[in-house]
Amino acid sequence: MALIAYFLAHTLHRTATADSSQEIKTSLQVQQQEIDSLKQQLANNRAEDAEKRKRRLAIRNQLGVFLDQGKRLQQDIEYSNLSALHEKSAWEKRVEEYLAKELDSSYAARFRSPLRVPVSYPRGNGYETGRSLDGRYGEDRDAEYFHLRTAGLAEI
């Protein structure tokens, strides 16, 4: 009888141990799958961050190119280079298109709206000199306006 009791107790104990061992293995497998999934998410996030950094760097570099071009055009306008006015219009269009495409339309709107727009007298009131209210003449006004636009670009 003792032998039968020993045999039954040992068999039941071994079955309980085997069941808990299987539960532990299953739990460990689930945890390992979760760890692998988290590692993959981390790798994906790092890759996305690297792409975002590359994109931001490319945008900053292109904005720097536009800023340099704008300053050159501004100097040409200040020295009465007539072709610079035509180049300025084409440059403004390129910048606005780039801002709308690569960033969003709010950046293009900020570029179109300088910090302070120079105001001139309306035509036909006897003040045909082209002077603005602050005393600047036509080309000076244009240069100031252009400078304000490039300053708006620098803030982006």
pLDDT score, position 121: 42
pLDDT in tens, 50-60: 999 999 999 99
Q: Which pTM does this prediction carry?
A: 0.54
pLDDT score, position 119: 44
Is the model's pLDDT at 65 over the cut of 90? yes
Contact 84, 118 (CB under 8 A): no
Alpha carbons 62 and 38: distance in angstroms, whole number? 36
Residue 133 dihedral angles phi and psi, to the nearest 5°: -65, -25
pLDDT score, position 19: 72
Of residues 123 and 34, the one with the higher pLDDT is: 34
Terminal alpha carbon distance of the chain: 91
Give every CB contact of residue 70 below 8 A, 6+ residues apart in sequence: 91, 95, 146, 149, 150, 153
Is the model's pLDDT at 33 over the cut of 90? yes
Contact 84, 77 (CB under 8 A): yes
pLDDT score, position 111: 86
